[in-house]
Amino acid sequence: MTTTTAAQRREEAKLQFDVFLATCPSRQLLDRISNKWVTLILCALSGGGPQHHEAGDGDGPRPLRYSQLSRMLAGVSQKMLTQTLRSLERDGLVSRTVTATVPVTVTYELTDLGRSLVEAVRPLKQWAETHIATVLTNREAYDAQASRPSVP
C-alpha cells in the first residue's frame, strides 16, 4: 500500500507539468499517446474510419466491438490491440462494456476524456494523409543529393 496520495502527487506535479522534463509524468503520457496504435484506435472509435463504413451506417462516434476494431486496423496483432485497449481503458480514455450474450460481446467506446484527446489526435492522422505525397518527394530529393557528394 502506498502512502503517497493522489492529491499529493497531483499537487506536486501541478507545479510544473512540462513534457520537456524527462521526469515529468506528462512526458510519459506524451510518449503513450504518441503511438501509432493509440492514434488509429482513437480515430476508429471516433468514427474516423473515413472510407470504412463497417456497419454501413453513418460515421458518428459509436461503440465498436473487438473484432470490428481488429478488422479496421489492418495489420494489428491481437496482442497489440488488446494491450493498447487495456492501457487506454486504464487511462480512462475508452470504456469497455461486456454484454453477456451467447458468445460474449465486448464493445469499446470513447469516454469524454478520450473524445477530448481525439480532437488533438485526428489532425495528426489528417496531416499524414494530406502531406505524405510531399514528404515522399522530399525524401527522394534528399536521397538524390546524398548520393551526389561532389558535382560531377
Partner DNA sequence: CAGGATCCAGTAGGATACTG
Partner DNA sequence: CAGTATCCTACTGGATCCTG
Considering the complex, state which of residue 102 and residue 146 has its C-beta at the smaller distance from a second copy.
146
- By CB under 8 A, which span of 60-68, 77-85, 99-107, 123-131 interacts with a second copy? 123-131
Task: Report what 148 binds from a second copy, DNA, none; CB cut-off 5-8 Å by kind.
Answer: none
Considering the complex, state which of residue 12 and residue 19 has its C-beta at the smaller distance from DNA.
19
Q: 108 — phi, psi (to 5°)?
A: -115, 140
Task: Write the DSSP symbol of residue 97.
Answer: E
DSSP string, 32-87: HHS-HHHHHHHHHHTT--SS--TTSS--S---EEHHHHHHHSTT--HHHHHHHHHH
Q: Residue from 52, 62, 65, 115 that binds a second copy (CB under 8 A)?
A: 52
Name which of 134, 130, 112 is nearest 122 in CA terms: 130
Task: Report what 106 binds from DNA, a second copy, none; CB cut-off 5-8 Å by kind.
Answer: DNA
Residues 61-120 contacting a second copy, CB under 8 A: 72-75, 89-92, 113, 116-117, 119-120
Q: Residue from 26, 63, 68, 115 that binds a second copy (CB under 8 A)?
A: 26
Q: What's the N-to-C CA distance of the chain in angstroms?
A: 70
